[in-house]
Amino acid sequence: MKKVLTSLLFFSIQIGLYANDGVFLARGNQLIPVFETDVSLRKEILEIKKVDDKIIQVDVRYEIFNSSEEKDLTIGFEALSPNGDVNATPVKGKHPYIHDFAVKFNDVNLPFKIAYVHDSLYAQSGEIRSTPLNEILGSITNVNYVDFFYVYYFTANVKPGLNVIEHKYNYDISSSVEYHYYFEYVLTAANRWANRQIDDFRMILDMGSYEDFYISKSFFQNDNFWKLNGKGNYSVVSEEVDLEQSPELLNFRIHSGTIEYSQKNFKPTGELFLFSKNLISYDGYFDYKIHQLPFSYHQQYNVQLPVDEISKEIILALPYARRGFVFNDKIIQRYYESTVWYIPDPDYKIDFESLTGKEKEWLEEMKQ
């Protein structure tokens, strides 16, 4: 059974989405004991941040507990290869879209190695079986699809009692025709520690300001485990998504701040899957009577030219509507009140200089 579950970690999320004109670059994953161990995972604080709409920054702190004598423990990080219209060839032996991988154990920086494996049975008889890099490079016939995976691993001297692992890395964000961006983070791998759970789990997500995104209810059922630290709102929606995810989603509209998921005795049965939809009108124009405008300013260039003057005025009002400006024009005000993300702020006054650089540039272009 353990071998089957491990295989699923490698293969279950790799299908479906990438065939839909998408590009899969990388995903996040847990640190796991490569071999069976009696060391348990007491606490995990996982921080995930989206930077410049291009990079996912991951910063994790693990507290593991060794109930027996001092020992050396091999700890690994499993990484799928890229897939789709992208070059999947290793760069200097490393995953091409995972960067700045670093591990600190009990305040000491540790070196790591990389294994190249073809299935989940790479760890046997106390050894990691890796294919030599030159053979891996020589076997690549199509740079868009390769048949190997990466295992970043290191050896830690685990003292009796509590030990702390600090793990950092960045990975490039994936996208598709349907999704402006999406990313995944494997949670179920944490069940491979001795206690088969995370005793105290906390996850903090920072997607930036003025962001509209969805999280599949694949690893939780109780929405009360979530907390919004800042300004925004969310709702439960039902929608079929690619991959075998829950049809129920939480749709977050974040004006500022972060969201946080906390749970004791967390036994994850699904993975984190977060995405932002592409909001594109294929009509070739924007008509306020039938079209939506994007909450995220990263998608503002998807806005089409207005069909009439009032549609243009509504477009030009978009950056200020994000900030809650209450409009005197009843048509403009009704339009934004009909959106799920608009939160009126009677104290906000229009201030062009307070907009982001991207918003200023876009607004000047739309005025022409």
Q: Would residue 340 count as lying in a domain?
A: yes
Q: Would residue 285 count as lying in a domain?
A: no
Which pLDDT band, with edges at 50, 70 and 90, does 81 fall under? very high
Co-location of 24 and 127 in the same domain: yes
Q: Would residue 241 count as lying in a domain?
A: yes
Amino acid type, 180: H
Distance between CA atoms of residues 345 and 323, nearest Å: 7
Predicted pLDDT of residue 83: 87
Co-location of 156 and 95 in the same domain: yes
Q: Which domain holds residue 51?
A: 2-277
Co-location of 352 and 311 in the same domain: yes
Rounded to an integer, the average pLDDT of 100-129 is 96
Is there a contact between 229 and 257 (Cβ–Cβ < 8 Å)?
yes
- We report the CATH number of the domain holding residue 210 as 2.60.40.3680
Most confident by average pLDDT, 20-29, 162-171, 300-309: 162-171
Q: Would residue 288 count as lying in a domain?
A: no
Q: Would residue 170 count as lying in a domain?
A: yes
Return the structure tokens found at 161.
Answer: 């009692």
Is there a contact between 178 and 277 (Cβ–Cβ < 8 Å)?
yes
Co-location of 101 and 73 in the same domain: yes
Co-location of 323 and 223 in the same domain: no
Residue at a domain's end among 249, 277, 305: 277
What tens digit of pLDDT does each residue of 240-271 get? 555 455 578 999 999 999 999 999 999 999 99
State the DSSP string of 188-201: GGGGGSTTSSEEEE
Q: Give me the residue label for tokens 């069976």.
A: 36
Is there a contact between 52 and 139 (Cβ–Cβ < 8 Å)?
no
Q: Would residue 320 count as lying in a domain?
A: yes
Residue at a domain's end among 212, 245, 277: 277
Co-location of 235 and 361 in the same domain: no
Q: Would residue 282 count as lying in a domain?
A: no
Residue at a domain's end among 247, 277, 307: 277
Host H or E run for residue 254: strand 248-266
Domain count, the chain: 2
Rounded to an integer, the average pLDDT of 156-169 is 98
Is there a contact between 39 and 28 (Cβ–Cβ < 8 Å)?
no
Distance between CA atoms of residues 212 and 179, nearest Å: 12
Co-location of 176 and 120 in the same domain: yes
Rounded to an integer, the average pLDDT of 43-70 is 97
In 3D, which of 218, 309, 249, 173 has the Cα closest to residue 13? Answer: 218
Strands 179-185, 71-79: pairing kind? unpaired
Co-location of 67 and 11 in the same domain: yes
Q: Give me the residue label for tokens 């053979």.
A: 135
Co-location of 209 and 315 in the same domain: no
- We report the CATH number of the domain holding residue 351 as 1.20.58.1690
Return the structure tokens found at 259.
Answer: 């969201």
Q: Would residue 113 count as lying in a domain?
A: yes
Q: Is the pLDDT higher at 2 or at 146?
A: 146
Distance between CA atoms of residues 318 and 180, nearest Å: 19
Return the structure tokens found at 131.
Answer: 């294919």
In 3D, which of 88, 78, 76, 82 has the Cα closest to residue 14? Answer: 82
CB-based contacts of 353: which residues, under 8 Å, 6+ apart? none
The tally of CA atoms less than 13 A away on the side-chain side of residue 148 is 27
Predicted pLDDT of residue 242: 52
Please provide the average confidence, as pLDDT, over all residues in the chain. Answer: 91
Co-location of 102 and 174 in the same domain: yes
Q: Angle at which helices 309-316 and 357-367 pack, to 10 degrees?
A: 160
Co-location of 242 and 346 in the same domain: no
Co-location of 352 and 259 in the same domain: no
